[in-house]
């Protein structure tokens, strides 16, 4: 059992695992350019015999401004890596056949307009395309007998998935000069794309021998998920598919999900497995023998940041068991062992994404690995294979025993580049925050840090707010890149952060900025006590919710020499222009039409009179989560008041800056703004 509140300690320092491969004199500081030279390892899947891992390794060409991913095979015994695909396109989502002789993947090759399903022999040979779906293929899984595969593809709800009708409609739309987006749905656009085309996902079956494609959901007329994607698993006997699906259809006035069992014979029959829960059930995973179905559930509709309840469904009796009843964390990425005796999962825990296990019968949770950030768990032959990263190293393939012993790194795609980079030292710090609660934060030092000098301080504020600054090598907000610019960089996990108990996360609901603001101020206080921090050279920067808190800070204190607001909310009344508007009353304590005073109370726009701090405003024009009008309004206020300010709009980027050259430019502007107002380096 893990305590529901952070440890009652503070000012306690723990040096975390952050090796410097070479001394700063022999290597160069981290930079945005070097960040994009590193390969990104993902999509880990294990071969049926447990000996080989397949991963997608993506390399980026900065000049061409794009990435290219190939499938690699890694021997878990020797670590030897072999590039398996060499096509001109990016290969994605590899899946081993049950006999281990074939790998399925998706790619957009040659004449493909959209990604299609390909099969390639593991023993050698060319990949062959096996589908021609008009709107492409995603979410590929093999059926357990290896004779067919399931996949998802979009189609028109009104035509019950008829592909000929779909092709005709696509041609008509291509020729149509009207490009209006029309909807009566509450969620009609998501992240950076519109959902007004009428497409819904169907699940299909591809038969390897006959090459026939069968629609398993011919009558599906609504989205499985508001994102437009689909999440499912296939039972070991191949007779049913468990799929997460929104309970209500258009206009999607609620987004709560249940888990449905879909027959795989093509008749489209579905039955709800979790009808009793008014909130959401999700993440279905069949255990190896098929006796149980594991899934997550939330039970409350009046709370943001609720812990996920890891639940076991006995498929024969229908009995449901909550496996981690006294575990005050939120499980994710659950998998089971071959004997159906143990469940392994990831959870945010005290600033890390740790690995845990729990008996299939439920009960005490065991911590297996509390280092860095971990993902993609696979279990075979008494071992767990997964991706591991930390603040000083990007993801790599690791292996450990199922009891947490014998941890070792298997892949080494980035060692040569990392050997030439000087990483800054990392500290894990606890301090007293709001309400005398303990708050955790990371401190990342410049690689050339000298405690005898005075250094500028950069306070980073994470998004969410129900997220965390983790012990990870973030590709967009990389703490080592920030610190290498010459700044002691801190990343506090303020109230509302996940991984510190449900109590800690819930405390900010209905008063969005109050406790996080206090925590950030106290983090700054704590650092300014240190003799090597120059209190006259401090800055704060945040993105998303972090950008919101930056604009709140701007209206409530002038202690920082400058601020950086990336994709931040400025006017809460306008945030109903966001893509997803559910549960905002929980965050704000009211709605513009019911509790308006509460909404205004927590809106940074109401405190513009006291905003005097120079601010850099950054926004992507395709950001539908925090529409870029929020950035325009904040910048307009600053310029009208005569506050030194600068705005950067990226017309092709969304909530995140994702392309290499824009990212490098972003980091350059970020550092230039800091240098302009607080200088850089020790003095």
Residue-wise pLDDT tens digits, 430-450: 999 999 999 999 999 999 999
What CA–CA distance (Å, rounded) separates 356 from 345? Answer: 5
Do residues 462 and 500 make contact, with C-beta atoms less than 8 angstroms apart? no
Dihedral of the alpha carbons of 390, 396, 397, 398, in degrees to the nearest 10 = -30
Please report whether residue 536 resides in a domain: yes
What CA–CA distance (Å, rounded) separates 490 from 452? Answer: 19
Please report whether residue 635 resides in a domain: yes
Please report whether residue 467 resides in a domain: yes
What CA–CA distance (Å, rounded) separates 606 from 637? Answer: 11
Please report whether residue 167 resides in a domain: no
Please report whether residue 475 resides in a domain: yes
What is the band of 5 on the pLDDT scale with cuts at 50, 70, 90? very low
The model's pTM: 0.94
Give the domain CATH number at 612.
3.40.50.1820
What's residue 595's pLDDT? 95
What's residue 111's pLDDT? 81
Is 494 a residue whose pLDDT tops 60? yes
Query: Pick from 541, 511, 499: which is nearest to 524 by CA?
Result: 541
Kindly tell me the burial class for residue 425, based on how many C-beta atoms sit within 10 Å of its own C-beta (0-12, 13-18, 19 or more).
middle
What CA–CA distance (Å, rounded) separates 619 from 626? Answer: 9
* Backbone phi and psi for residue 649, each to the nearest 5 degrees, phi listed first: -110, 130
Region 275-279: mean pLDDT is 95
Please report whether residue 512 resides in a domain: yes
* Backbone phi and psi for residue 35, each to the nearest 5 degrees, phi listed first: -60, -40
What CA–CA distance (Å, rounded) separates 20 from 418? Answer: 9
Please report whether residue 633 resides in a domain: yes
What is the band of 299 on the pLDDT scale with cuts at 50, 70, 90? very high
Region 577-601: mean pLDDT is 95
What CA–CA distance (Å, rounded) separates 441 from 325? Answer: 28
Is 1 a residue whose pLDDT tops 90? no
- How does strand 292-297 pair with strand 309-314? antiparallel
What CA–CA distance (Å, rounded) separates 115 from 130? Answer: 11
Do residues 447 and 424 make contact, with C-beta atoms less than 8 angstroms apart? yes
Region 22-43: mean pLDDT is 85
Please report whether residue 599 resides in a domain: yes
Q: How does DSSP classify residue 276?
A: T
- Which neighbouring-strand residues pair with 637? none
Do residues 292 and 361 make contact, with C-beta atoms less than 8 angstroms apart? no
What CA–CA distance (Å, rounded) separates 57 from 92? Answer: 10
Look-up of token digits 């603040």: 391
> Would you state the structure tokens that stand for residue 645, as one six-digit string?
């300010």
Region 241-252: mean pLDDT is 95
Q: How does DSSP classify residue 266?
A: S
Q: Helix, strand or coil for residue 560?
A: coil
Do residues 625 and 226 make contact, with C-beta atoms less than 8 angstroms apart? no
Q: How far, CA to CA in Å, does 210 sit from each of 130, 152, 402, 448?
A: 11, 19, 41, 64
Is 298 a residue whose pLDDT tops 50? yes
Query: Pick from 302, 362, 301: which is nearest to 331 by CA?
Result: 362
What is the band of 245 on the pLDDT scale with cuts at 50, 70, 90? very high
Kindly tell me the burial class for residue 188, based on how many C-beta atoms sit within 10 Å of its own C-beta (0-12, 13-18, 19 or more).
middle
Region 102-117: mean pLDDT is 93
Count of domains for the chain:
1
pLDDT digits (tens, 9 = 90+) for 44-96: 999 999 999 999 999 999 999 999 999 999 999 999 999 999 978 899 999 99
Is 172 a residue whose pLDDT tops 80? yes
Is 124 a residue whose pLDDT tops 70? yes
Region 584-609: mean pLDDT is 96
Of the chain, the end-to-end C-alpha distance in Å amounts to: 47
Is 3 a residue whose pLDDT tops 80? no
Query: Pick from 16, 32, 109, 71: which is nearest to 480 by CA?
Result: 32
Look-up of token digits 């707010």: 465
What's residue 88's pLDDT? 80
What is the band of 681 on the pLDDT scale with cuts at 50, 70, 90? very high
What CA–CA distance (Å, rounded) separates 385 from 407? Answer: 10
Region 192-217: mean pLDDT is 95
| Chain Cα centroid distance, residue 122 | 31
Mean pLDDT of the chain: 94
Region 567-582: mean pLDDT is 96
Region 301-309: mean pLDDT is 93
Q: How far, CA to CA in Å, does 643 sit from each of 460, 482, 581?
A: 22, 25, 32
- Which neighbouring-strand residues pair with 458? 489, 539
Structural domain including 450 reads 423-678
Residues contacting residue 661 through CB under 8 Å, at least 6 positions apart? 62, 65
Q: How far, CA to CA in Å, does 19 sit from each of 16, 25, 304, 412?
A: 9, 15, 37, 15
Is 359 a residue whose pLDDT tops 80? yes
What's residue 11's pLDDT? 34
> Would you state the structure tokens that stand for residue 291, as one six-digit string?
């006796």
What's residue 352's pLDDT? 98
What is the band of 161 on the pLDDT scale with cuts at 50, 70, 90? low
What CA–CA distance (Å, rounded) separates 637 from 174? Answer: 42
Q: Which strands form 615-620's sheet, in the order they lie side by side?
A: 12-15, 426-432, 438-444, 488-493, 455-461, 533-543, 562-566, 615-620, 645-650
Do residues 388 and 41 make contact, with C-beta atoms less than 8 angstroms apart? no
């Amino acid at each position: 059992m893990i305590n529901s509140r952070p440890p009652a300690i503070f000012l306690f320092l723990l040096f975390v695992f952050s090796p410097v491969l070479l001394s700063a004199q022999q290597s160069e500081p981290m930079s945005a350019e070097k960040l994009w030279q590193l390969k990104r390892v993902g999509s880990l899947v294990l071969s049926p015999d447990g000996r080989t891992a397949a991963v997608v390794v993506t390399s980026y060409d900065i000049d061409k401004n794009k990435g290219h991913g190939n499938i690699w095979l890694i021997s878990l015994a020797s670590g030897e890596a072999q590039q398996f695909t060499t096509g001109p396109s990016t290969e994605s989502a590899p899946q081993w056949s049950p006999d281990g002789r074939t790998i399925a993947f998706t790619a957009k090759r040659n004449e493909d307009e959209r990604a299609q399903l390909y099969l390639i022999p593991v023993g050698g040979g060319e990949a062959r395309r096996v589908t021609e779906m008009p709107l492409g293929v995603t979410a590929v899984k093999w059926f357990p007998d290896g004779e067919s595969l399931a996949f998802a593809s979009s189609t028109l709800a009104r035509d019950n998935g008829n592909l000929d009708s779909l092709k005709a409609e696509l041609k008509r739309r291509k020729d149509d000069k009207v490009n209006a987006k029309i909807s009566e749905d509450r969620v009609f656009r998501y992240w950076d794309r519109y959902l007004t085309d009428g497409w819904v996902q169907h699940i299909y079956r591809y038969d390897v021998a006959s090459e026939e494609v069968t629609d398993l959901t011919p009558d599906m007329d609504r989205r499985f998920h508001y994102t437009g994607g689909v999440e499912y698993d296939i039972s070991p006997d191949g007779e049913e598919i468990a799929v997460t699906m929104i309970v209500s259809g258009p206009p999607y006035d609620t987004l709560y999900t249940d888990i449905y069992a879909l027959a795989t014979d093509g008749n489209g029959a579905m039955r709800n497995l979790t009808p009793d829960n008014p909130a959401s059930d999700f993440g279905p995973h069949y255990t190896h023998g098929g006796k149980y179905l594991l899934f997550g559930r939330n039970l409350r509709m009046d709370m943001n940041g609720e812990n996920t309840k890891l639940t076991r469904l006995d498929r024969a009796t229908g009995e449901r068991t909550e496996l981690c009843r006294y575990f005050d964390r939120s499980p994710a990425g659950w998998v089971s062992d071959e004997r159906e005796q143990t469940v392994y999962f990831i959870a945010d825990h005290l600033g890390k994404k740790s690995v845990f296990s729990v008996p299939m019968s439920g009960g005490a949770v065991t911590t297996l690995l509390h280092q860095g950030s971990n993902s993609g768990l696979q279990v075979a032959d008494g071992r767990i294979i997964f991706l591991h990263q930390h603040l000083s190293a990007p993801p790599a393939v690791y292996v450990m025993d199922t009891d947490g012993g014998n941890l070792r790194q298997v892949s080494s795609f980035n060692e040569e580049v990392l050997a030439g980079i000087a990483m800054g030292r990392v500290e894990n710090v606890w301090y007293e925050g709001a309400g005398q609660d303990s708050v955790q934060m990371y401190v990342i030092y410049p690689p050339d840090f000298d405690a005898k000098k005075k250094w500028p301080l950069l306070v980073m504020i994470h998004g969410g707010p129900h997220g965390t600054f983790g012990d990870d090598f973030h590709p967009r907000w990389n703490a080592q890149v920030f610190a290498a610019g010459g700044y002691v960089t801190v990343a506090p996990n303020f109230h509302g952060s996940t991984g510190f108990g449900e109590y800690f996360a819930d405390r900010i609901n209905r008063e969005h900025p109050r406790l996080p603001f206090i925590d950030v101020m106290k983090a700054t206080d704590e650092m300014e006590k240190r003799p090597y921090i120059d209190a006259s050279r401090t800055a704060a920067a945040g993105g998303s919710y972090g950008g919101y808190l930056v604009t709140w800070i701007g209206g409530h204190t002038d202690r920082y020499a400058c601020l950086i607001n990336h994709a931040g909310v400025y006017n809460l009344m306008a945030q109903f222009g966001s893509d997803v508007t559910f549960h905002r009353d929980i965050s704000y304590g009211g709605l513009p039409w019911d509790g308006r005073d509460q909404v205004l109370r927590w809106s940074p726009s109401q405190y513009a009179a006291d905003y005097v701090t120079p601010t850099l405003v950054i926004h992507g024009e395709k950001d539908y989560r925090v529409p870029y009008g929020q950035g325009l309004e904040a910048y307009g206020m600053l310029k009208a008041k005569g506050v030194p300010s600068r705005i950067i709009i990226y017309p092709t980027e969304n909530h995140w800056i994702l392309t290499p050259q824009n990212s490098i430019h972003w980091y350059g502007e970020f550092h230039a703004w800091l240098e302009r107002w607080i200088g850089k380096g020790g003095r």
